[in-house]
Amino acid sequence: MWYKIIQIIEWFGDMADRYKLIRDFNNSAKNYFISGKAGTLLEAKITWGDSAYRHAFSKFMGSGFRIKALSGKYMARYELIEIGNIILNNEILVRKLISLGWDTLEVQDNHGALGCKWALKEYANIGGFLNN
Amino acid sequence: MRYILLLQQIDTLRISKTEFVTKSYSIWLWLSIIEFILIAILFYLLYNKRKKLAFSDLSEANLKESKNTDIDMDNIMNSIIKSRELYKELSSVCHPDRFVNTSKEKIANDIFQEISKNKRDYKELSLLKERAIKELDLIFLITIKRQNYKISDIYRLST
């Protein structure tokens, strides 16, 4: 019984952590855009994700982590891929994303609905994951 | 007589009504049982499907540490904006071919490997830049590069 209550409390804690991560990213991106360091304003948000990329910790609705360019200069395809690769190369961030229930990373330009997406489970470094 | 007949009719109506109520009760009972079984089957299938997914062998406790780690968002933004340029600069300046047959060849090799490994991490690249300045004496080279000299000039001066 107590275990279930702890699980429920943890679930709410996870949700808070998810929104904190999104808020931190958005604040940082906003500051860089306002100060002129970044040419494009990026925004992170939660999406449905891809069901083909699911793993055991995926959230039911909202397993996609989307980074979208909101305004500023147009982004070429290689730039979208570069942003995705920077996120995926950061092993700590990928592990955190997985543990908080995300399974899909999406990067989208501000024009059209086309973008790039990756399965986070392929970049988690399972061996290291188990040891930690 | 009529009154008796009427009473009898009312009685039969009552009986049929109670029969109908008990029948309807039994239908709802069966329906709820079927629903319960269906829900149990769906939960079982969901549990089995979850078992087959990636990371199903990991428990929540394994993830606790990952959940509590702090992410340096400024580093991520810097990496998105500047890491590409810094990597290009460092990989060209610290390339081991520039230090062939010198005492710094091994250090240059190490630094170049680290640069390639952390090509998308701005923080690490900045640290490597400092290391390269210290260990490969690249202060002079980098200042020259800022003054738009050619790489060949840098090479000549360094040797």
Hey, which bits of chain B come out as E strands? none
Check whether B146 has a pLDDT greater than 60. no
pLDDT at residue B153, rounded to an integer: 44
Domain count, chain A: 1
Q: What is the pLDDT of residues A84-124, one digit of tens each?
A: 999 999 888 998 999 999 999 999 988 777 789 999 988 88
Interface of A with B (CB under 8 A): 10, 14, 17, 21, 24-25, 27-29, 32, 37-38, 42, 54-58, 82-83, 85-87, 89-90, 92-93, 95-96, 98-100, 121, 124, 126, 129-130, 132
At A66, list the tokens.
Answer: 């989307």
Domain ranges of chain B: 1-52, 72-158
Q: Collect all residues of chain B within an 8 Å Cβ-Cβ radius of residue A68.
A: none
pLDDT tens per residue across span B70-111:
889 999 999 999 998 889 888 888 888 888 888 888 999 999
Q: Provide the terminal-to-terminal Cα distance of chain A, rounded to the nearest Å.
A: 28
CB contact under 8 A, B66 and A38: no
Digit-coded pLDDT (tens) for B54-71: 887 777 777 777 888 888
Cα gap B159→B157, rounded to integer Å:
5
- d(C-alpha B31, C-alpha A27), whole Å: 53
pLDDT at A25 > cutoff 90: yes
The Cα A17–Cα A28 span in angstroms is 16
The two beta strands, A104-108 and A40-47, are unpaired
Cα separation, B74 vs B51, in Å, equals 37
- Rounded mean pLDDT, B6-28: 67
A115-119 and A64-72 strand pairing: unpaired
Amino acid symbol at A34: I
Residues A100, A14: contact at Cβ < 8 Å? yes
pTM value is: 0.75
Half-sphere exposure (CA, 13 Å, Cβ side) for B87? 20
- Per the DSSP assignment, residues forming a β-bridge with A104 are A64, A119
Domain that holds residue A56: 2-131
